[in-house]
Amino acid sequence: MSASLQLVLLGHGKTGSLVEEVARERGHSVRILEAEENADGSAITRDSMQGVDAVIDFTTPAAVVGNIAACAAAGVNMVVGTTGWQQKLDSIRPMVEESGIGFVWGSNFSIGVNLFFNVAKAVASAQKHGYRMQIAEKHHIHKKDAPSGTAVTIQQILASQGGEAPPIESIRDGEIVGTHVMLLDGPDDTMMLVHDAKSRRGFADGAVRVAEWVKGKSGFYEFKDIYSEV
């Protein structure tokens, strides 16, 4: 376990609350910034972030971009687990890199899901052998974005291997934590590959471990590229 960190947590919903719990279990100090005191990232300044090792964001797609800009301006490292904003990556990345902070984002901080991304890369070539691919994702009714960031990442991985971007079906029902399915339908057989999250704790644990990993680093990272190091 790493030395004690000073963390600031943005977003204190179901996952954010678990982030706080896991961080304290791992010996870190956590300060929570509520949404009403941090409109457009206004509470994130160089003065207020003195001594802070990392800001962890599990807010909303509408809030996260302002928080990223504020962290870049304040010179404080950041871990982003919020999804639904990835279409703005092209403008966010140069801003983060110019600021010199350490920044890690992920569509999913579960180790299991990131292993699942590797499975997606391994099976992507099935399209060249006549398999038709589909993605389905199920989440709780409170989830703000659809399709999920995880499903979009799977779609991008499959398309990046020379195939088509498969369609995504999104289902919002009850309190489902998160289920992702890759369906490969071929002329002679069918494969169904499934990741089903039992709880949100895996997301929270990954985010805290990333905050530990990024201390002392600068640069722009995606969790799926560094998860084996945390």
Catalytic residues, which ones? 139, 143
Tokens describing residue 158: 């499959």
Spell 7-23 as b/e; 16+ CB within 10 A means b: bbbbbbebbbbbbbebb
Is residue 29 a contact partner of residue 51, using CB atoms and an 8 Å limit? no
Pairing mode, strands 132-139 and 168-172: parallel
Burial of 147 (0-12, 13-18, 19+ CB in 10 A): buried
